A = this chain, B = another copy of it.
Amino acid sequence: MPAFHHTLRIRYQECDAQGVVYFARYPEYYDVSLTEMFREAIGSYQAMVDSGVDIVVAEQSLRYLGAARFDELIDVAIAIDKLGTTSMVSSYAISRNGDTLVEGQMRHVFIAVATKDKTPVPDHIRAALGAYAAQTETGG
């Protein structure tokens, strides 16, 4: 079950000529919400970057079940499915008034800022993210 929730309001410029949120904006809502999850977990995403570690998206998938409109409030729920040695798989659901609009999954890889090479998830971040994990596994 999703362990973190963040509420966002749809902006005018996020909607397209069909009058609904442009399909490529939903992963951005996830990303904004992930930043908030990191704030709660480790203080700040930028602090992690400043310490030499960053994350990049390696894979993502989404299913669209409904469409949000301008000025509506949406809930973004995130859970960490797996914390590997150097990777993080998370799931999310975006809903409006309890109706799921989008379901997605993301795979991030932790990298060293200096080299852009894969790097192990730092221990304190692994520990902190554990609170949002449906399951924690090693490997991968």
**Distance of A38 from chain B, by nearest CB (Å):** 10
Q: A4-37 toward B: CB 8 Å interface, digit per residue (1/0)? A: 0000000111011111001111011001100100
Q: Which of B56, B60, B62, B71 contacts A44 (CB 8 A)?
A: B71
Indicate which residue in B11, B54, B58, B60 contacts A18 across the interface (CB closer than 8 Å): B54
Question: Which residues of B sit under 8 angstroms from A59, Cβ to Cβ?
Answer: 61-64
Q: How large is the interface on A (under 10, 10 to 19, 20 to 34, 35 or more residues)?
A: 20 to 34
- Docked complex Cα distance between A46 and B106 (Å): 32
A17 contact set on B, CB distance < 8 A: 12, 15-17, 19, 70
B64 near A57 (CB under 8 angstroms)? yes
Cross-chain contact of A60 among B23, B35, B57 (Cβ < 8 A):
B23
Which A residues are closer than 8 A to B by beta carbons?
11-13, 15-19, 22-25, 27-28, 31-32, 35, 44-46, 54, 56-64, 67, 70-71
